[in-house]
């Protein structure tokens, strides 16, 4: 996390002074500001800024307003809000609009502050990696266009060779074999790289493509759930199913056969002594997810099991039990995690 820049904005200079003393040991570049306009100048002139930690009560505007403008100005910067007074409605409104990554309650516990900033920097690195992958995808798309253009030229040449049937057949066979060998090698190399970089965690194998395999059942699971990927809760069972279609359209990890798990499959991976934390990081409510899964997700997960026309089942990973509720059940604790055979 060295060289990562973190900007803290608070009208209370005592908070900034304390933060400077206690956070200096973390090694990243900490920038402090008590003025909103100065903070905007810092973002423009000293960027990129990985994380901004902002109080909700600033001198000239609310912190939520500042972070909204910040999102448009530097969308890759991770935003953390400090506040002494908040309720469930404030959290839901701000998180659902994507303005805030985490909350910090005042008076500040600097151990939690340091842990939250580290998580914010990791999130910023994930965002930057996604951008890099997008650029790589665009480059590949451009190369594909060039290849298609070259293929079109080859087709024109082949049309001129129709008078020599033997030559045409030989050329086509060579082309098919070459393409098949290239595709086969590319697929093998890709799978080999994933296997070579995998991590063994008990009965689980965690891969670098965002999946993990339960060797007891050979099922492949997404290590990140709906809440982590979409940064919000699903609004019910119908959206859980719609998300399956979206993930398959995007070919998450290269696959298009993801599905909602059964309650039995959830029960098979539940770990009673699990220590992972959910999206709200409540240590007294650790969830029984496998170590291979990424922390920060939901508590309960929709299954593919319907109960009549209006209800469906989900599995709760605090206590490890299945429950039935309305398909329209919209609760911040619920999420979606997909599996494939």
Contact (Cβ atoms closer than 8 angstroms) between residue 68 and residue 99: yes
Residue 97 structure tokens: 């609009």
CA separation for the pair 89, 86 (Å, rounded): 8
Regarding the domain delimited by 5-126, which CATH topology (the fold level of the hierarchy) does it fall under? Rossmann fold (3.40.50)
CA separation for the pair 238, 32 (Å, rounded): 45
> Tokens 């973002």 belong to which residue?
43
The count of C-alpha atoms lying within 13 angstroms of the C-alpha of 25, restricted to the half-sphere facing its C-beta, is: 8
Return the DSSP state at 296.
S
Residue 49 structure tokens: 């800024």
Segments in the chain forming alpha helices (H): 13-23, 36-45, 63-73, 88-96, 110-160, 165-196, 226-230, 237-250, 263-269
Tens digit of each residue's pLDDT, the chain (341 residues): 557 899 999 988 899 888 888 877 777 788 998 999 998 999 989 879 989 999 988 888 888 888 888 888 898 999 999 888 776 666 665 666 657 888 888 898 888 988 998 998 899 899 889 988 988 888 887 788 777 777 778 777 677 767 778 777 777 776 766 666 555 555 555 555 666 778 999 999 999 999 999 999 999 999 999 999 999 999 999 999 999 999 999 999 999 999 999 999 999 999 999 999 999 999 999 999 999 999 999 999 999 999 999 999 999 999 999 999 999 999 999 999 999 99
Contact (Cβ atoms closer than 8 angstroms) between residue 36 and residue 9: yes
The count of C-alpha atoms lying within 13 angstroms of the C-alpha of 222, restricted to the half-sphere facing its C-beta, is: 28
pTM, two decimals, is: 0.47
CB neighbour list of residue 262: distance below 8 Å, 6 or more residues apart: 303, 304, 305
The CATH code that applies to domain 200-340 is 3.90.1580
């Amino acid at each position: 996390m060295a060289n990562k820049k973190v900007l803290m904005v608070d009208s209370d200079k005592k908070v900034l002074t304390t933060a400077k003393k206690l956070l200096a040991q973390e090694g990243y570049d900490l920038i402090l500001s008590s003025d909103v306009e100065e903070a905007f100048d810092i973002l423009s002139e000293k960027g990129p800024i990985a994380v901004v930690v902002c109080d909700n009560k600033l001198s000239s505007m609310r912190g939520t307003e500042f972070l909204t403008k910040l999102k448009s100005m530097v969308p890759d910067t991770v935003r953390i809000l400090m506040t002494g007074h908040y309720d469930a409605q404030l959290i839901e409104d701000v998180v659902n609009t994507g303005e805030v990554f985490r909350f910090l309650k005042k008076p500040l516990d600097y151990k939690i502050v340091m842990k939250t900033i580290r998580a914010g920097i990791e999130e910023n690195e994930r965002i930057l990696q996604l951008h890099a992958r997008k650029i790589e995808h665009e480059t590949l798309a451009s190369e594909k266009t060039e290849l298609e253009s070259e293929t079109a030229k080859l087709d024109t040449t082949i049309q001129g060779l129709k008078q020599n049937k033997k030559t045409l057949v030989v050329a086509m066979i060579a082309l098919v074999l070459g393409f098949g060998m290239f595709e086969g090698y590319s697929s093998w190399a890709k799978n080999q790289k994933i296997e070579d970089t995998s991590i063994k965690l008990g009965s689980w194998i965690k891969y670098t493509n965002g999946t993990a395999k339960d060797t007891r059942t050979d099922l492949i699971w997404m290590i990140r759930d709906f809440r982590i990927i979409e940064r919000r809760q699903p609004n019910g069972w119908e959206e859980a199913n719609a998300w399956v279609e979206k993930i398959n359209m995007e070919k998450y990890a290269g696959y298009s056969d993801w599905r909602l798990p059964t309650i039995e499959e959830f029960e098979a991976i539940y770990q009673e002594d699990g220590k992972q934390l959910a999206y709200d990081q409540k240590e007294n409510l650790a969830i029984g997810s496998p170590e291979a899964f990424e922390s920060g997700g939901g508590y309960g997960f929709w299954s593919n099991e319907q109960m009549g026309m209006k209800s469906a089942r989900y599995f709760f990973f605090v206590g490890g039990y299945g429950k039935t509720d309305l398909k329209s059940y919209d609760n911040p604790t619920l999420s979606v995690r997909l599996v494939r055979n």
